[in-house]
Amino acid sequence: MRKDARVGAFQVLFGLDQGNNENDETLSMIVEENDLHDKDVEYVEHILKLFAEHKLEIDQQISDHLNKQWTISRLGSVERTILRLGVLEILYQEDVPKNVAINEAVELTKCFADEQSKRLINGILDKIG
C-alpha cells in the first residue's frame, strides 16, 4: 500500500545523495509526477525527518555490514539510497515488519538498479533485520 510513498521517499533521498538540498521543491515535483495522496506525502515527510535524525546511525549500520574492502561511499548512489531507506524502515518504522521493509527494498532495486544489486541489498538488509 505504501509502494508509491516509498518510491517518492527513494526519489527525495536519492536527490539528497546527489547534493540536492531543495527538499520542498523536490517533494512537490515528486508528488506531482507520481500523483501522491496526502497519506503518501505524510509518509515521505516522516521518512525525511527520520533520515535527518538518524543518518549517521543508518550509514554506520550499512558500513558495518559491507565487506571489509567496501565503504558506503563506494556504493552506487541508487544502492546506497535503497539501503538507507531499508535500514530506516527496519530500525525506526515500528509499523513496518522487517521482512516487508526488506522485500520492498528489493522491489525498489528491481526498478532502479541491476540484478547484482538485488543480492547486495537483500544480503545487507537481511543481516541488519
More confident residue, 20 or 121: 121
Instruction: Report pLDDT digits (tens) over 48-63.
Output: 999 999 999 999 999 9
Taking the C-alpha atoms of residue 84 and residue 100, their distance in angstroms, rounded to an integer, is 15
**Is the model's pLDDT at 84 over the cut of 90?**
yes
Section 71-98 average pLDDT? 96
Gap between the Cα atoms of 49 and 66, Å rounded: 25
Mean pLDDT of the chain: 89
For residue 2, what pLDDT is reported?
A: 81
How far, in Å, are 17, 50, 64, 113 from residue 71 at the CA level? Answer: 15, 23, 9, 19
Q: What is the pLDDT of residue 126?
A: 96
Going along the chain from its start, the domains and CATH numbers come out as: 3-128 (1.10.940.10)
> What span, in angstroms and rounded, lies between the C-alpha atoms of 89 and 29?
23
Instruction: Look up cell 520542498; give the residue.
Output: 24
